[in-house]
Chain A
């Protein structure tokens, strides 16, 4: 399925880049040994017969389970490191449906050496630059895989940590945590997809608990949750539309 992104125009993204692919498939692992975390993840879109390289997703597939792929063909011509058309940005969500595990040998594809994602949390021992004011009311977001409430390592933890750092500096008088779920049903690869409504609550409550663990007074944190999430524009969803529905908004009031 292709989703034409009207929002993309507002972000300065060309039409060619703005075709967001969404499909469900069984993932394929290609064992290219370019060192640690170097293996490739491939996904065949049955509708088109195209094979895509989805290795750049923040959370990777599980070869035992189907995966929902959401991504855009990379705008820059890149080396075919894995044996598929590179999707970047891309998100992959592990689904409950079982898949036969399938692994390919390297077959001459070099894979990619692991590079630390730009969204990574520094150790506590590292000095942090102070966040300068003045501060104004602001909303932070974290985004989720389909039907999940888990903060993905080296993506969501970074987004949440950035929010925490700002909130600590800005000292808001109130923090509203709003959980969203993409409950509107949509057909993808011949199947109807809608998130469970409960996941919005689960997302919101986990973020509220996470804020409390980071030292924020529970009395200033309010929590609400909703289905029927609409897309948002946010730099940290990298221009993807559908995944932007699956989120929590952290709304700071000064």
Chain B
């Protein structure tokens, strides 16, 4: 189908069957999408991916837009079960879950298939392949935290497969899954380190790939270059930065999550890249009945589609100024709608302006030069206009995976990291972590615990939060920050932030 601009002048409209529910897909005007109750996109279903689709969630409705109009998925490599297990990319990147996967969806899928869905593949959809696969508790990390097993090579390797010199030692303190000891783990014949992480949303990619500045202030170097295009890389794709391009990410995923023994073909990679580059997701409507782009507000994915990515909110369009119009009350609204809008607008201002002391967080307090502590707000790091990710490569240690800041997580492995060279700037010589994060890519002790900042769009559709799923809901996320940085949010401020984030 000819690719048309969503905001151009054409008024082509098409009615598409999607999961048995009729959807109106409009191209060339603001799409009018009807909600669908079909939460699961099965690989190989052959459905047409619509130009616009709405999916209900507990907070309201998520909207998914596809630039260029409806797309046939029959035979498309993103939607086709290329994996021997029957998995496809879409298995863990569901449109209804903002192109990620919620724990709730995983639980529902378990119930509906009695655990036989390819989502629960032994390789990474269970806590460890060595466990009995027919038992739910063997998949507990996916079912309760929405976590997929990530098996990293040990020692880390560079993009062309050479071992990287590591300046730390890794030991296993706790291995509740069994995947870091015996035939697995760093001491195995084929050494690996297994960590468990949330699938990142494959949507709004132009923001995650955008390069705002030529330098990475967290590394004190110019951005690395794409070996193919020689252009600078954003560094914002993967939790641990192990792949910096969509093709590298695809290759990584194909060899691990899809268990392919052959490479994806260049044609397949082009198809997947094309699709991923055209998908935009955001919450469109709140459960209170308020459209998030009503009365001057600019919520929803259309704004994401039409805006230029990579802009720093502090020198351009302030982060979450999409809800600025709601700072002034509008007459005639229901009490509930008026209260909700005011709360979202306050939440945006709190996000940008309520400062607190950020302490002992590498990637922020070191080594950039900001100092430890530094007073700033959420938008200090979540600084990209429209999207809230980091304009710079976003590898930051919030402490969500590393002691003493991490919440207790007896179901996750615990590693003891010993720095062999310089000690870690904040943790010292010995570090206890459930996920070394970026250090599993760089081999540097100073990078232990750093995780690339998450995308903030479509949050309502994809709980739980943080890379290890440690915040079960948005309130849990706010509470973590409040504890970690002693912010002292009031109850109202917490609710305002929750309302803001559920509107993204």
Contact = CB atoms under 8 A, between A and B. Distances in A.
A63 B369 contact: no
Contacts of B211: 124
B230 interface: yes
A152 B218 CA distance: 9
A123 interface: yes
B213 A37 contact: no
B365 interface: yes
Contacts of B368: 59, 152-153
B369 A64 contact: no
A208 to B, nearest CB: 11
Interface in A19-56: 29, 31, 33, 35-39, 41
Nearest to B423: A96
| Contact residues of A: prevailing secondary structure | loop
A39 B312 CA distance: 23
B426 A64 contact: yes
Contact of B221 (A31, A63, A152, A206): A206
A133 interface: no
Contacts of A121: 213-215
B243 to A, nearest CB: 18
Nearest to A35: B355
A124 B309 CA distance: 12
Interface residues of B, number: 40
Interface string A75-109: 00000000000000000001010000001000000
Contacts of B374: 37, 39, 60
A106 B370 CA distance: 19
Contacts of A31: 357, 375
B351 to A, nearest CB: 13
Nearest to B230: A215
Nearest to B224: A213
A62 B371 contact: yes
Given A31-B357, A33-B355, A213-B224, A38 B375 contact: yes
Interface string B374-391: 111100100000000000
Interface in A183-227: 206, 209-210, 213-215
B220 A156 contact: yes
A123 B355 CA distance: 25
B379 to A, nearest CB: 9
B311 interface: yes
A62 B374 CA distance: 9
B68 interface: no
A155 B365 CA distance: 16
Interface of A: 29, 31, 33, 35-39, 41, 58-64, 94, 96, 103, 121, 123-125, 148-157, 161, 206, 209-210, 213-215
Given A39-B374, A94-B425, 15 more contacts: A39-B357, A39-B375, A64-B360, A64-B372, A121-B213, A123-B213, A124-B214, A151-B220, A152-B220, A152-B369, A153-B215, A153-B369, A154-B369, A213-B223, A213-B224
9 nearest CB pairs, A to B: A60-B371, A59-B369, A153-B217, A150-B220, A151-B220, A62-B372, A213-B222, A152-B369, A153-B368
14 contacts: A35-B375, A39-B371, A39-B375, A59-B368, A60-B370, A60-B374, A123-B213, A123-B310, A123-B312, A123-B315, A124-B212, A210-B222, A213-B223, A213-B225
